[in-house]
Structure 1
Amino acid sequence: MGFITDISQYLGKTFGFYSDYVELVILTILIFVVFGILKRLVRFFYSRADVSNKKKYFRNRMIKITLDIISIVLVVLLWGHRISGMVTVISFLSAGIAIAVKEIIFDFFAGIYINTKKTFELEDRVEVNGIKGDVVNIRSLGFEVLEVGDRINGEQSTGRIIHIPNSFVFLYPLKNYTKAFKYVWDEITVEIPLDADVEKTKDILYDIVGENEILKTTPKKMEDAVADVTAEYRIYYNYLEPIIYTKIVDSHVELYLRYLVHPKKARNVQDELYLKILEEYRNGNIELYKV
């Protein structure tokens, strides 16, 4: 401490500051530096631990929060006996800071709301202000998503990580695709000629869906999920099985095949269904409309 005191006195004389306050500032910086190094060491050792990546993430996050709290408590204790004499100055400074960093304050309290209300959690698929992705990190001021494309492009990952301020949950509607239950309605369109056997084609499509390993167990899982959330949400479905709707469009018929699927598996399921439909077409079992 003598070394720090000497530096504080030197800086105080050089710049005209009270050496006591200079010493407190130096000690405060040292506290944050030491705890920053500790967090990096923890991250380093946990990265080599033989546990799942999900456990590593949650443990690292918990330790980071704990170390942050300890460092803040130490700083408050360090400055505690000086705060009473700085109340007026702090009042003016805090008012100015509040105006300058109102967005940060807004993000901070929005973060508290997110963590207490569980608006979304890690790995949820969300969309806010036109940004859609899977939540990969939640921080005190913002959260990060691994961006996915639109439905036309199969909602495939773009590989980009986007940082979103927490305040967006107050400013824009938030869509959570997996909060109440982890399945959404997806749809593919099959076009057939006007003179095709519609009922036969529908039967074949139902068989294709029924044979899909992912889709055939989904209705039961969805039924259980709906039952689990009825106490919290007024949600009900009359029909959870795959269904086909028919529509006449110009010179052909469009069949809309709807089914429940996990958002992250939708593209793979579509691929499997279309391949099966093409196989039935090549075998002469169904007709497809040709422009």
Structure 2
Amino acid sequence: MKELFEFIYNWFHSLTGISPNVQHRIVLTLLIILFFFILDKITLKIVFKRNEDPALRYKWRKGVFYLSYFLGFLLVARVWLYQLPSLVTYFGLLSAGVAIALRDPLTSFVAWIFILWRKPFDVGDRIEIDKVKGDVIDVRIFQLTLIEVGNWVDADQSTGRLIHVPNHKVFTGYVANYTVAFPYIWEEKEVLITFESDWKKAKEILREVADKHTSIYQDDARKYVKEASKKFLVYFNKLTPIVYTDVKESGVRLTVRYFCPARRRRGISTDIWEDILDNFQKEKGINLAYPTQRWVR
């Protein structure tokens, strides 16, 4: 068998000019790649067979890929860098030039490590980064991918576009996370009624309507507030709906403030508005206000 391999190496050397030593390293490299490729397929097949959760499958797929890539890189480097002392200086000079030429990709790589380590967001979170808002569906070495939310679509609903954002944006701008550790947000609705309206009754209606549509979330929200306070300086003394009163040129402005799940913002807003309009229609002493002009002669 050894003679056969030597014959093949010598024959290929005479054909291509590649030395048997280099051929041997090429074969080892291909075997390492093939080994980890097969190992990935087998591991993921076992995991996918036992788990139906898409989020868990995604994390396994990413984890297996990165682990295989890292171990494979170390083994391939061990195969080729057999003259390590003589190559250290060369790679040191090369890395300095690469760092200058590829500043953004390298920063994105460091940002990727930061994202995995500090977890300012994770796959599935709704975030806003670099003035783009969306749900994170993938985090790769150099970029993350969002399903865009908002933009020309009113409220927090998807546009259907995929937005690819370089990872280094986490260092150069702010990152707003709508759902990590605390999947609730404050929402407000402004209702303007005429000065002649019964504003106290209107205020009572707004509070009752908001409570009707958000009370089912209050216990869950308190649980998340308690959990979030263990990691962040987060506290809310009041999670029940609040109605504030203000006076504007066209009438009395009532602002109802309530807690709601970040991903159900538009649906709850629709239900509350429809309930408000129905209740105001039943009350003869309450009328919505709007800017008007009166001409006096």
Counterpart in the other structure of 1:239? 238
Deviation of the 1:20 alpha carbon? 3.8
The answer on whether the counterparts of 1:11 and 1:22 sit within 8 Å (CA) in structure 2 is no
Counterpart in the other structure of 2:259? 260
SS in 1 for 2:219: helix
1:56 maps to a residue whose letter is R
Question: Which sections of structure 1, spanning at least 5 residues, go unmatched?
Answer: none
SS in 1 for 2:82: helix
Relative to structure 1, the CA distance from residue 27 to residue 67 in structure 2 (aligned partners, 3 Å threshold; closer, same or farther) is same
CA distance in structure 1 between the partners assigned to 2:51 and 2:16 by the alignment: 50
CA distance in structure 2 between the partners assigned to 1:225 and 1:128 by the alignment: 24
How do 1:137-152 and structure 2 match up within 5 A? 137-149=138-150
How do 1:195-274 and structure 2 match up within 5 A? 195-212=196-213, 215-274=214-273
Counterpart in the other structure of 2:74? 73
Counterpart in the other structure of 2:190? 189
How do 1:74-223 and structure 2 match up within 5 A? 74-149=75-150, 153-212=154-213, 215-223=214-222
CA distance in structure 2 between the partners assigned to 1:21 and 1:80 by the alignment: 12
CA distance in structure 2 between the partners assigned to 1:256 and 1:3 by the alignment: 86
CA distance in structure 1 between the partners assigned to 2:120 and 2:14 by the alignment: 52
Counterpart in the other structure of 2:60? 59
Relative to structure 1, the CA distance from residue 182 to residue 108 in structure 2 (aligned partners, 3 Å threshold; closer, same or farther) is same
Relative to structure 1, the CA distance from residue 188 to residue 229 in structure 2 (aligned partners, 3 Å threshold; closer, same or farther) is same
Relative to structure 1, the CA distance from residue 239 to residue 18 in structure 2 (aligned partners, 3 Å threshold; closer, same or farther) is same
Relative to structure 1, the CA distance from residue 270 to residue 151 in structure 2 (aligned partners, 3 Å threshold; closer, same or farther) is farther
1:113 maps to a residue whose letter is F
SS in 2 for 1:233: coil
Kindly indicate whether residue 279 of structure 2 is the aligned counterpart of residue 280 of structure 1: yes
Larger CA deviation: 98-107 vs 200-209: 98-107
2:289 maps to a residue whose letter is Y
Relative to structure 1, the CA distance from residue 258 to residue 42 in structure 2 (aligned partners, 3 Å threshold; closer, same or farther) is same
CA distance in structure 2 between the partners assigned to 1:231 and 1:171 by the alignment: 28
The answer on whether the counterparts of 2:51 and 2:57 sit within 8 Å (CA) in structure 1 is no
The answer on whether the counterparts of 1:123 and 1:134 sit within 8 Å (CA) in structure 2 is yes
2:223 maps to a residue whose letter is D
CA distance in structure 2 between the partners assigned to 1:125 and 1:183 by the alignment: 11
Relative to structure 1, the CA distance from residue 2 to residue 240 in structure 2 (aligned partners, 3 Å threshold; closer, same or farther) is farther
SS in 2 for 1:122: coil
Q: Considering only aligned residues, what root-mean-square deviation do their CA atoms show, in Å?
A: 3.0
Larger CA deviation: 102-111 vs 148-157: 148-157
TM-score (norm 1): 0.83
1:269 maps to a residue whose letter is I
1:250 maps to a residue whose letter is E
The correspondence for 2:13, drawn from 1, 9, 31, is 9
How many pairs does the alignment contain? Answer: 286
Considering only CA atoms, is the larger Rg found in Structure 1 or Structure 2?
2
The answer on whether the counterparts of 2:202 and 2:280 sit within 8 Å (CA) in structure 1 is no
CA distance in structure 1 between the partners assigned to 2:100 and 2:12 by the alignment: 32
Deviation of the 1:139 alpha carbon? 2.1
2:288 maps to a residue whose letter is L
Counterpart in the other structure of 2:294? none
SS in 2 for 1:77: helix
CA deviation digits over 1:119-157, x for unaligned, max 9?
112222211221111111222322222211159821111
The answer on whether the counterparts of 2:211 and 2:240 sit within 8 Å (CA) in structure 1 is no
Larger CA deviation: 28-37 vs 121-130: 28-37
SS in 2 for 1:188: strand
Identity of matched residues, %: 29
Question: Which sections of structure 2, spanning at least 5 residues, go unmatched?
Answer: 292-297
Larger CA deviation: 266-275 vs 50-59: 50-59
SS in 2 for 1:153: coil
Larger CA deviation: 278-287 vs 201-210: 278-287
CA distance in structure 2 between the partners assigned to 1:64 and 1:238 by the alignment: 45
1:81 maps to a residue whose letter is Y
TM-score (norm 2): 0.82
Deviation of the 1:194 alpha carbon? 1.5
